[in-house]
Structure 1
Amino acid sequence: MTSVLIVSDAWHPQINGVVRSLERTAEELEAAGVIVKFLTPQAFRTLPCPTYPEIRLSLTVTGRVRKMIRDLGCDHLHIATEGPLGIMAARVARKDGFPFTTSYHTRFPEYLSARLPVPLAWSYGWLRRFHNSGDGCMVATRSLETDLRDRGFTNLMRWSRGVDEKLFQPYEGTVLPADLPRPVFMNVGRVAVEKNIEAFLDLDLPGSKVVVGSGPQLDSLKRKHPDVLFTGPKVGEDLARHYASADVFVFPSLTDTFGNVMLEALACGVPVAAYPVMGPIDVIADTGAGVLSEDLREAAIGALDVPRDHCRKVALDFTWAASARQFLDNVEAAHDAFYARRKSAAA
């Protein structure tokens, strides 16, 4: 495999796990000699997604997407998202008869039902048809794979994630206000209803709570919780230093498929407190790098006793090089299987 085209509706200026995962995977693939190209909303006029303006929806037609895919001329097509670009790219691949894989990053049925009265079965039915129409659907964890298989998804492939251990590391000192009471319990990510951040903010905890990030729920949560420090979004070393300034990373989400932020916190030497659900079960499990409990306060308090050096050791088991190799193996397997089926059908 010499070249891969990745189609993604999630792209800059969004700051999220999908964008970071695609960027780091591309970097590792290119280092291994694979040409990686992207087709993203940056190539089109866009409009903000209703209720989620940070997400930009591409304004285009299938014919233009087809021409761009042909002009880019890659060996394999990977569709990272189920938005307008992903839908049109899959339509082109099916009609023109070439292989493509998809990846399942986000539990959109749960996200949608948190905002609108849409039955989960309807959303999952559409997603099942979309992902099953390809030659492989990549998922980050064992628990997600099991969940989707039980819902009728097929051709599932494992594609884990990594962490930049050079950027995310224990730093000396703190970037937080010097008078901020300790211990510091922190959450990092999109400030949105599906992240269940209020479950963290409502906890009766000693010390201070800090939320790093932005999103549609930011203003309302700031008004409701004036005692919480909301820093806004952070990137690069500034973000890493914020992680490292915390005593516990609290991850209250019930809907994430993985949770890259947990790995980033662990790499900075910060233990994780979370519910025992998909994502935390796969990342933390019985590693001893955090505490999982149905009682999130109990988990947060218990995580204070976790050794910080052990947290980083656990995080270093997740590398982007291994993640990219897994991605490429999946692409090659799907590609070969597609042409083997075509050859068999023609015989």
Structure 2
Amino acid sequence: MRICIVTDAWRPQINGVVRVIESVRREVEAAGHQVTVIEPGAFLSVPMPTYREIRLAVFPARKLRRLIDAARPDAVHIATEGPLGLAARALCKRRGWPFTTAYHTRFPEYVQSRTGVPLAWMYAWMRHFHKPATRVLVPAASTLTELRRRRLRNLWLWSHGVDTQVFRPTEGASFSDLPRPLFLFLGRIAVEKNLPAFLDLDLPGSKMVAGVGPERESLQRRYPGVRFVQPDDDEAIARCYSAADVFVFPSLTDTFGLVLLEALACGLPVAAFPVAGPRDVLADTDPDHPVGVLDDDLRKAALAALALDPAPCRAHALRHDWAAVATLFLEALAPLPRRVAEGTAPTPVSGEADADAESSADLEVERVR
């Protein structure tokens, strides 16, 4: 099968969306399928307002159409709701192609936190974006329940995994100069991660924040006693996890929290609020051998997690295999008409060659219903 994945999130970003796509791509290709990823690096792009590390494709419709046609896909999956996702959605709709989408990120909450746009408006737009999809892939049961409450349809539960060969306890981890215990957050340093809820805690030892993001500089100035580091690859990330004593995850909005699984795979217990994401990651743990502590009092959770055994953490992560995640992904895909895969794409509907002008496909300017 030839699969085309369209995503607005890609390297050099290191985030959960990128990690999921890369891991699923690796497993799907190992199973004998061909995957084409269409991402912002192939397009003219500009920095995203308020988050310069993210690049947004500019007027991508014409080139995206050429790339999709060249791939001759058997299935199209749209991973994100940005400019590339909008352009791919519009193209599939015009051609009458089925496609799948994914709900990786609580986009409405993130937009609200940055702009103040009401959640009701954003969820109306999300219903509009995902409504034509044959299936909407959702990473956790609690998120699926929430989206049903928000009246999204055609939802498909699709959990995530962790590469336990890369993320493993690492001998000789660094940061030996920091007083113990060491409490770590690793991930995107952005307002939606709620980092002050961690950094304001009165905890013994040291705190460390690993990652990049738009809030990094301001938080460094605000919390001069916190060690900020920027790991540049997966091995460096694994060393950060292995050096710490507790992984503290203050986010209230993550749909899953892939970093929680990565930390556990490195034998690092986790502390978090009892919200969607952390609850899903820890849902099937052995109560006699806990791997994390969820509490509305994050300080209490962090201190309690210090007493947890690293061995069950690693054992829990080993149960989350990317091969199983890739199988669910393949089962969810919607096959395209046979003539597309055979290289005879349908004749453009009225004005498709000009529709790129600029841009019912790019900006999807139509009434939100």
The bucket for the TM-score relative to the shorter chain is: over 0.9
Q: How does 1:331-346 map to 2 (within 5 A)?
A: 331=333, 334-335=334-335
Which position in structure 2 is the counterpart of 1:316?
Answer: 318
- Once the two structures are superposed, residues 53-84 of structure 1 have per-residue CA deviations (whole angstroms, 9 ceiling, x without a partner) of 11111012433322321121110000000000
Kept after mapping to 1: 8 A contact 2:79/2:103: yes
User: Quick one: distance in 2 between partners of 1:272 and 1:145?
Assistant: 23
Which position in structure 2 is the counterpart of 1:233?
Answer: 231
User: Quick one: distance in 2 between partners of 1:61 and 1:166?
Assistant: 37
Q: TM-score, normalised on structure 1? A: 0.94
Which position in structure 2 is the counterpart of 1:189?
Answer: 187
Cα deviation for residue 286 of structure 1 reads 5.8
User: Quick one: distance in 2 between partners of 1:270 and 1:184?
Assistant: 11
User: Quick one: distance in 1 between partners of 2:296 and 2:17?
Assistant: 27
Cα deviation for residue 115 of structure 1 reads 1.2
Which position in structure 1 is the counterpart of 2:67?
Answer: 68
Kept after mapping to 2: 8 A contact 1:5/1:77: yes
Q: What RMSD in Å do the two structures reach over aligned CA positions?
A: 1.3
Cα deviation for residue 276 of structure 1 reads 0.4
Which position in structure 2 is the counterpart of 1:343?
Answer: none
Runs of 4+ off more than 6 Å: none
- Between 1:266-275 and 1:124-133, the stretch displaced more is 124-133
Kept after mapping to 2: 8 A contact 1:185/1:247: yes
Count of residues paired in the alignment: 334
Kept after mapping to 2: 8 A contact 1:248/1:273: yes
One-letter amino acid matched to 2:158: W
Kept after mapping to 2: 8 A contact 1:79/1:89: yes
Kept after mapping to 2: 8 A contact 1:103/1:138: yes
- Once the two structures are superposed, residues 165-188 of structure 1 have per-residue CA deviations (whole angstroms, 9 ceiling, x without a partner) of 011111223211x23111100000
Report SS of the residue matched to 1:5: strand
User: Quick one: distance in 2 between partners of 1:26 and 1:186?
Assistant: 29
Which position in structure 1 is the counterpart of 2:275?
Answer: 277
Kept after mapping to 2: 8 A contact 1:4/1:35: yes
Gaps of 5+ in 2: 339-369
Q: TM-score, normalised on structure 2? A: 0.88
Cα deviation for residue 132 of structure 1 reads 1.4
Higher relative contact order (CA 8 A, sep 6+): 2
Cα deviation for residue 117 of structure 1 reads 1.6
Kept after mapping to 1: 8 A contact 2:43/2:60: no
One-letter amino acid matched to 2:88: A
Which position in structure 2 is the counterpart of 1:104?
Answer: 103
Kept after mapping to 1: 8 A contact 2:60/2:83: no
Kept after mapping to 2: 8 A contact 1:212/1:234: no
Report SS of the residue matched to 1:263: helix
**Which of 304, 307, 311 pairs up with 2:306?**
304
Aligned-pair identity in percent equals 54
User: Quick one: distance in 2 between partners of 1:250 and 1:61?
Assistant: 39
Query: Do structure 1's residue 220 and structure 2's residue 218 form an aligned pair?
Result: yes
Which position in structure 2 is the counterpart of 1:327?
Answer: 329
Q: How does 1:78-117 map to 2 (within 5 A)?
A: 78-117=77-116
Which position in structure 1 is the counterpart of 2:35?
Answer: 36
